[in-house]
Amino acid sequence: MSAFEQVFTLLQLVPVQRAGAGLLLASLGLPLVGVVIVGLDIMPVRFAMMHVALLGIAVGIILGLDPALCAIVACALAGAGVAPLARTPDGLSGAMGLLMSLAIAAALLVLSVSGVNANGAFALLWGSILAVRPADLAVLGVLAVAVPALLLRRRRDLALLLHDRELAICSGVRVQWMTVVLLVLVAVAVGAAIRLTGALLVDALTLLPALAARRLGRSLGSIAGWAVCIGVLVNLTGFLISLAWDLPPGPVLVLAAGAVALAAHLIPERRTTSWRATASSSVPSSH
């Protein structure tokens, strides 16, 4: 059987169709979340939310609830909870480090005290793209609509916040409220992505497309557009390659996204980059 015939045959299976739909929906919203992660300089958020998700999974198993749903709820609550710490000198990066330490300690304590099978809880963190459920597609669908809608509606405010928090405050942006919203979206997105690629490979859906897009774009709008285009192209191409040659999808997606990010960084940097162009146009004139 040729690679094309194998892909065509596998695409007739419902789990494979759900996996492809999940990746497509994820590619519409999660690369934009990656843009936010880069802009807020909270790279540790992926690891922090991985530990928070483990805590949510453990609680869900104990209570007899859906562990994946509990993980997403726990991530959302954690994202909202760390927002006030953005005012501290260490900023959100320090807050994410603190959250990561506390979450893993709490998760291990809950697993130990409750007697829950730790292997089963950890297994859910590795994800399986072929185990995507309709409920997972619903969450990804909401993110695919909510994240671009927020970007379009609050583009100038977001550009200011991602460029300079103090400048955003001076310009009248409701920074605290917007920071909470962004962190909740980031946390939920990372929690939802875990189901697709596993906790350690979330970067394929979020960070890597954003890093490539930031190199190519000159404003927040163009960076967002590049991020979505790269996300859709890389993730669907990687998925088809994994089907054609019977390879694990997660690593293939990361390698494909990483190759594009590296290629983008070989392009000479433009004089005006990131969202500064958008932010500068949002600053009230002094005249």
CATH architecture observed for domain 3-282: Orthogonal Bundle (1.10)
Q: Answer for the pair 165, 106: CB distance below 8 angstroms, yes or no.
A: no
Please, what's the b/e burial string for 236-253 (b: 16 or more CB within 10 A of its CB; e: otherwise)? Answer: bebbbbbbbeeeebbbbb
Model confidence at 283: pLDDT above 60? no
Secondary structure (H, E, C), 228-247 = HHHHHHHHHHHHHHHHHCCC
The top-scoring range by mean pLDDT among 43-47, 113-117, 132-136 is 132-136
Kindly state the DSSP code that residue 284 receives in the 8-state scheme.
P
Q: What is the per-residue pLDDT for 231?
A: 92
**pLDDT tens sequence across 217-267:** 888 889 999 999 999 999 899 999 999 998 888 888 889 999 999 999 888
| Distance separating alpha carbons of residues 34 and 238, to the nearest angstrom | 19
> pLDDT exceeding 90 applies to what percent of the chain?
24
Q: pTM value?
A: 0.84
Q: How far apart are CA 229 and CA 170, in angstroms?
A: 34
Quick one: pLDDT band at residue 273, thresholds 50, 70, 90? very low
Count how many residues are written for the chain. 287
Give dist(CA 196, CA 124) in Å, integer. 11
**Residue 199 DSSP one-character state:** G
Instruction: Give me the percent of the chain exceeding a pLDDT of 70.
Output: 89
Residue 3's φ and ψ, nearest 5 degrees, are -60, -40
Domain boundaries, the chain: 3-282
How many Å from the N-terminal Cα to the C-terminal Cα in the chain?
Answer: 71
